[in-house]
Amino acid sequence: MSSSFSSREIPIHAPILGANQAKAEALRQRFRSQGMKSLNLISSPGAGKTTLLEKTIKGLSQFKIGVIEGDIATARDAERIVKAGAHAVQINTHGACHLDAAMVEKALDQLDGDYRFLFIENVGNLVCPAEFDLGEEAKVAILSVTEGADKPAKYPLVFLQSAVLLISKIDLLPYVDCDIQAMMADALLVNPNIEIFPLSAKTGEGMDAWFDWLRR
Amino acid sequence: MCDGGFDSLENMKMLAAQCSQRFEQEKRFLEEWVLRAEQQGDHRAALIFSQTAFELGRAVSTLGELKEVSSAHPEATVARV
């Protein structure tokens, strides 16, 4: 064989998430300049994000709170948030499995802008939302005890990128086969810096530690 | 729809168009290399180049379908509640 048949590299000079990243950085600046603590809440469907937010809004009622709700369909979550006492914008992705920075930018245009806290409840999914920066100050992963202890090891990216892990529905621990110590150990193995708060939005157990973290 | 990490439909279409163009170009190179390998009597190399060119052709065809798939996926809507 002739040496003229060498390997060839095909360069594609465009970062796949470049447009999103640029928009996310602009949003981060906007949140900072407005003094908003912005958090991107990520979990599986049914982990309790909206219930947690309802209780958080009531627990931090002295602050003005805005919420961006992401769902494939319906405004049900946003309606619950408004009933709890916060301002809410509902994004319907019509099939997309995550929010992106452009959607958040569009949603922000419909909010007031002078919130102390801005919560972005992402589409229920432990995979794709972890890949998209929304300009948030921090990602917060929520994992319920009913989902099993193996999720941090099986879906590491979201736990690697999150500043906080909220282990939700701990009131159900007596009824489910979940080794919460193993869950926490795996999360810390993936991300030694992650702060973990086991809690129950239903009973209120552990919620104060979460509120304290928010007030920091 | 899981879009596999692309950050917008426009970006996805742009990258698909770039990839398609480059793959088409590489396919033409490979087809030339098939002829050159045959001329040099290296049938194994010719076969590998030929198969790779075929796969690139399939990729170009798949990328061409992307536009229709993307068009079927509506934009997100935003509403204050």
Q: Can you tell me the distance from the alpha carbon of B79 to that of B73, in angstroms, rounded to the nearest whole number?
A: 19
Helices A76-84 and A49-59: angle between axes, nearest 10 degrees: 20
Which of residues 125 through 184 in chain A touch B, CB cutoff 8 A?
A: 127-128, 131-132
Q: What is the mean pLDDT of chain B?
A: 80
pTM for the full model? 0.76
User: What CATH number corresponds to the domain at position A92?
Assistant: 3.40.50.300
Place of tokens 């009824």: A175
Instruction: Determine what percent of chain B is predicted with pLDDT higher than 70.
Output: 77
What is the structure's pLDDT at B16? 80
**Taking a contact as any Cβ pair under 8 Å apart, which residues of chain A between 32 and 61 contact chain B?**
none
Q: In chain B, what percentage of residues exceed pLDDT 90?
A: 23
pLDDT along chain A (216 residues), means of 10: 60 71 95 96 97 98 97 95 97 91 94 94 95 96 97 95 98 97 97 98 98 97
**Which residues of B fall within a CB distance of 8 Å from A92?**
76-77, 79
> A116 or B64: which carries more pLDDT confidence?
A116
The verdict on residue A215 lying in a domain is: no
CB of B12 closer than 8 Å to CB of B6: yes
Asked if the structure places residue A77 within a domain, the reply is: yes
- Rounded to whole angstroms, the Cα distance separating A46 from A189 reads 25
Q: Which of A22-26, A86-90, B31-35, B69-73 has the lowest mean pLDDT?
A: B69-73
Q: Which of A6, A10, A72 is the best residue to mutate to test the B interface, defined by the most B CB atoms within 10 Å of its own CB?
A: A10
Q: Could you give the number of structural domains in chain A?
A: 1
A contacts of B15 (beta carbons < 8 Å): 12, 14, 16
ipTM of this complex prediction, to 2 decimal places:
0.80
The CA distance from A173 to A86, in Å, is 30
Closest CA to A120 of A98, A97, A104, A102: A104
The answer to the question of residue A107 being in a domain is yes
What integer pLDDT is reported at residue A2 of this predicted model? Answer: 47
In a domain, A121, yes or no: yes
Model pLDDT, residue A95: 84
